Amino acid sequence: MSGEYFYGVIRKRPSAVRSGKVPGPPERHGQHATGRIAKLLIGQGHGFIRLANERDVFFHRADVEEGTAFNDLRIGDAVTFELFEDTVSGARALHVGRLRRASRRML
């Protein structure tokens, strides 16, 4: 059969399951921004980034990019991220990573 049997009714599966795609939340994107770590709550797994206009933006440890450890972040560290404005919960920083500066060689 091409569907599931449930109390005498055959239900068709959603097309996403048949096509091999796994349904999930949509990918969120925001505007590129930079700031500095203003507050970290290591035990709770989140913190706040201060923007140049003195606004604080929330981020969760799950929002930190791969290659950057949440526990290695320190207050005052410069970071780059995507600023996502959510109409329900407010602003949030996504894809948080340390700001990398171009290395200069001393001659």
The DSSP result for 77-100, as a single string, is -EEEEEEEEETTTEEEEEEEEEPP
- Of 87, 107, 29, 106, the C-alpha closest to 63 is 29
Q: What is the mean pLDDT of the chain?
A: 81
Residue 107's pLDDT is 46
Report residue 29 CA to chain centroid gap. Answer: 9
In tens, the pLDDT along 53-98 reads 999 999 999 999 998 899 999 999 999 999 999 888 899 999 999 9
CB-based contact 59:92 (threshold 8 Å)? yes
> Averaged over 17-26, what is the pLDDT?
58
Q: Which domains does the chain have, with CATH numbers?
A: 31-98 (2.40.50.140)
